Structure 1
Amino acid sequence: MSTSTDAVASSNSPARQRLLEAATDLFYSEGIHSVGVDRIIEAAGVTRATMYKQFEGKEGLVLEYLRGEDSQLRGLFAQAAGASDDPDVLLELVIEGIAADIRDRHTRGCPFINAAAEYPDEGPVRALIGDHREWFRATLQHLAEAAGLVEPTEVAASLVLLRDAALVGGYLDGEDRVAPAFARTARGVIASHRP
């Protein structure tokens, strides 16, 4: 019989971490559907039984990969909130963080947009992507409201759109060209909504 202690130990196991790291690298660099389970198992150096014990299949691994991406972005927001509680400063930190992400981490587009292209139908993957996007949009709207910006819903929608475009554009046109254009345009959106 499995206990909650077993579940925690399993979620923190070195084999699980290796599988998740291998899947994250491969899914992001090559695409989810083009990478087979055998390739992930080989890269992680685990057995097939270990893979299925940890994730109950490829979709479970895909979901965990996307949860990791979501968690990473939420962590950046939490880190920014720890640095300042001034909404104007937080908006600037968000802009700088997204520009840095375009340059340094997500150089092959947005992992959520990439995954959505591979999972066009409703299901757990699309639900997770939708939840992530709603959180991101709501968080930006809250920051815009706290900064006293006019039409904070529109500000948030514009910033989400700009991030989407910048992550795709960074992959197509180069991070050095797109990251500064994103930051400049995002600052313009914010400035145009000041009272």
Structure 2
Amino acid sequence: MNTKDRIIEAADELFYSGSIRETSVDRIAERAGVTKKTLYYHFRSKDDLVAAYLEARDRPTRERYLAWAGTSGPMADRVVRMFTALSEHARREDWRGCGFLRAAVELADSQGHPALEVARRHKAGFEAWLAEELEQDGYGSAHELARLLMILLDGAIARMLVNRDPAYAMEAGQAARSLLLSRNDSMSAMYTD
């Protein structure tokens, strides 16, 4: 692993397990086994490092959710699998929620922060993935449904963080399934009338 990747990995561990603002550059450098000067050689600022940390989480996070949802069966079943796996994942002692949501909340008063743009892109990309999958499954209002699924997903994560209760993901999954089945029923009714 190269030096830059070691720094990002150290930042990931510290930012995710704690707080972005409370985690010092000194602590990240120490965890990565580099000097502060070396850290700043690779990242102009802590803000750039926070953005790089989130950027590094983007693809693995999407791949994890894709694996949870799977590629077989109707979307109503796939979203239930995704929420069920999220519920199981949230039972882990080291689960701290969505790193993108946590960063966006923590940095909400720092408009223009590069990490906010990374978080926005991640969430937009995730929503676009859902819309594409819904479209392929025959839903006419795929973009609207994808937005509603994102609200259920992010809402479940927020409620699990507040209440430390993974049941919120299971309940959100059932709500998502009901939503998709009701839209599927109304599509079927339109085609049979």
Q: In 2, distance between residues paired with 1:77 and 1:170?
A: 17
CA contact (8 A) 2:79 2:176 kept: no
Give how far 1:159 is off.
0.8
2:136 alignment partner in structure 1: 146
TM-score (normalised: structure 1): 0.79
Which consecutive residues of structure 2, in runs of 5 or more, have no partner in the other structure?
188-193
Q: How many residue pairs were aligned?
A: 182
Structure 1 residues 52-94: Cα deviation after superposition (integer angstroms, max 9, x where no partner): 122232122111110122111232356579x636553654554
CA contact (8 A) 2:80 2:176 kept: no
1:184 corresponds to which of 166, 174, 177? 174
1:65 alignment partner in structure 2: 53
In the alignment, structure 1 residue 159 sits paired with structure 2 residue 149: yes
Residue aligned with 1:31, SS:
coil
Q: In 1, distance between residues paired with 2:179 and 2:73?
A: 18
AA partner of residue 146 (structure 1): Q
CA contact (8 A) 1:66 1:111 kept: yes
Give how far 1:158 is off.
1.1
Q: In 2, distance between residues paired with 1:37 and 1:22?
A: 10
The list of structure 1 runs, each at least 4 consecutive aligned residues, that deviate by more than 3 angstroms after superposition, is 77-81, 83-106
In the alignment, structure 1 residue 84 sits paired with structure 2 residue 52: no
Residue aligned with 1:193, SS:
helix
- The 1:105–1:111 alpha-carbon spacing in structure 2 relative to 1, beyond 3 Å, is farther
- The 1:110–1:84 alpha-carbon spacing in structure 2 relative to 1, beyond 3 Å, is closer
The percent of aligned pairs where both chains have the same amino acid is: 30
Which consecutive residues of structure 1, in runs of 5 or more, have no partner in the other structure?
1-11
**Aligned residue runs from structure 1 range 125-144, under 5 A:** 125-144=115-134
Query: RMSD of the alignment, in Å?
Result: 2.5
1:19 alignment partner in structure 2: 7
1:112 alignment partner in structure 2: 100
AA partner of residue 145 (structure 2): V
AA partner of residue 13 (structure 2): D
CA contact (8 A) 2:153 2:169 kept: no
Residue aligned with 2:63, SS:
helix
2:20 alignment partner in structure 1: 32
